[in-house]
């Protein structure tokens, strides 16, 4: 099996933002996207009284994280779950509320680095892309069964692919000859479906299609839409939710949810906020923070990150 590497994005900034929320007795933070445990390891080292609940739908990631975090013993609780199950996971771990929640969204470094998982367009591999191998739907299933219209919609909405219809039509025509099973064939088809002028900029032309297929396979946006409100509900007063998003649609969901809980329905010209109408949360970051040039140079996966943080101020 190929070895995977993991460089946590915006690590020091994430730790600094969580620090005020964990300065309480028996602090608990949920790492909703545990992956290989890089953020969790850093949190446990920085905050000696902290307990982390690590959630991941990928059993391979959990196995690797458990090995990495073994030295921390019972300071870590591991949960094989999808992160929209946060409320159940917290209750199952014996807690009512938590001090913080971290979402590091998108595909993990391990999933990209392990060719056999089929996430990376740069290596030929089975068209899988399931974060949890126990799930049924694969990228090959989508390519071989979706109508041209439905496939184009996925590529357009989740990959922001300008040539979605061209690619979808080409996939449907090509699969009639032979079903899709491996990524190299799909990459070649995408390359020939996109005009030469459009291929000269923007990196590998398959990037957007692979992203769209991955999001569809794992219902990433649907899961996140459910998980974010659930994470806000399990926060104790003073607790924070930290989100690292890498896709405009994820960031839009975050921005909308945070705006909703940090504003009141009281008219702006009212001199006071009546009891019961106060906002329950406040924004910690102004807009979305991005990685510095230095961080991007050190870790290219930080290039597209958007960081937003909200804090609960009322029960």
Q: pLDDT tens across 220-246, in order?
A: 999 999 999 999 999 999 999 999 999
Reported as a single tens digit per residue, the pLDDT across 256-268 is 999 999 998 666 6
pLDDT value at residue 260: 94
Structural domain includes residue 287? yes
- Tell me how far apart the alpha carbons of residues 180 and 33 are, in angstroms, rounded to a whole number: 30
- The length of the chain is 315
Structural domain includes residue 4? no
Find the CATH number of the domain harbouring 119.
1.10.150.170
Q: Is the pLDDT of residue 112 over 70?
A: no
Residue 150: band (very low, low, confident or very high) from pLDDT cuts 50, 70, 90: very high
Reported as a single tens digit per residue, the pLDDT across 165-217 is 999 999 999 999 999 999 999 999 999 999 987 777 667 888 899 999 999 99
Q: Write the CA distances from 160 to 39, 120, 164, 209, integer angstroms.
A: 29, 18, 8, 9
Cα dihedral: 209, 35, 92, 52 (round 10): -140
Structural domain includes residue 136? yes
pLDDT value at residue 5: 47
Structural domain includes residue 261? yes
The binding site for S-adenosyl-L-methionine comprises: 37-39, 56, 83, 104, 111
Q: 271 φ, ψ to 5°?
A: -70, -15
* Terminal Cα distance for the chain, rounded: 47
Q: Write the CA distances from 64 to 60, 67, 291, integer angstroms.
A: 6, 5, 27
Residue 249 and residue 206 share a domain: no
Residue 75 and residue 164 share a domain: no
Global pTM value: 0.89
Structural domain includes residue 6? no
Find the CATH number of the domain harbouring 105.
3.40.50.150
Residue 65: band (very low, low, confident or very high) from pLDDT cuts 50, 70, 90: very high
Structural domain includes residue 1? no
Please tell me the total count of domains within the chain. 2
Domain C-terminal end among 153, 183, 218? 218
State the residue range of the domain holding 75.
11-110+220-312
Residue 128 and residue 60 share a domain: no
The binding site comprises: 37-39, 56, 83, 104, 111
């Amino acid at each position: 099996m190929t070895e995977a590497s993991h460089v946590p994005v915006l690590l020091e900034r994430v730790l600094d933002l969580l620090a005020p929320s964990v300065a309480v007795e028996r602090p608990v933070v949920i790492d909703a996207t545990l992956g290989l445990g890089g953020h969790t390891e850093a949190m446990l080292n920085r905050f000696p009284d902290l307990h982390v609940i690590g959630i991941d739908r990928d059993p391979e990631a959990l196995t690797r994280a458990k090995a990495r975090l073994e030295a921390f013993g019972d300071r870590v609780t591991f949960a094989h779950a999808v992160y929209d199950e946060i409320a159940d996971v917290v209750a199952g771990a014996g807690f009512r509320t938590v001090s913080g929640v971290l979402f590091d969204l998108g595909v993990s470094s391990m999933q990209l680095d392990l060719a056999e998982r089929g996430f990376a367009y740069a290596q030929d591999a089975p068209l899988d892309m399931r974060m949890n191998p126990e799930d049924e739907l694969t990228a090959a299933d989508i390519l071989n069964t979706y109508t041209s219209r439905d496939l184009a919609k996925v590529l357009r909405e989740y990959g922001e692919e300008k040539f979605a219809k061209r690619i979808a039509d080409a996939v449907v025509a090509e699969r009639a000859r032979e079903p899709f099973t491996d990524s190299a064939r799909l990459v070649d088809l995408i390359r020939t479906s996109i005009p030469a002028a459009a291929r000269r900029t923007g990196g590998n032309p398959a990037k957007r299609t692979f992203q769209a297929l991955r999001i569809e396979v794992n219902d990433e946006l649907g899961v996140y839409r459910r998980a974010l409100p659930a994470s806000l509900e399990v926060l104790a007063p003073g607790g924070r939710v930290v989100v690292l998003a890498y896709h405009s649609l994820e960031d839009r969901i975050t921005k909308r949810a945070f705006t909703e809980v940090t504003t009141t329905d009281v008219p702006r010209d009212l001199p006071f906020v009546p009891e019961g109408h106060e906002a329950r949360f406040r924004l910690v970051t102004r807009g979305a923070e991005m990685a510095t040039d230095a961080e991007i140079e050190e870790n290219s996966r930080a290039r597209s990150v958007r960081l937003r943080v909200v804090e609960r101020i009322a029960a």
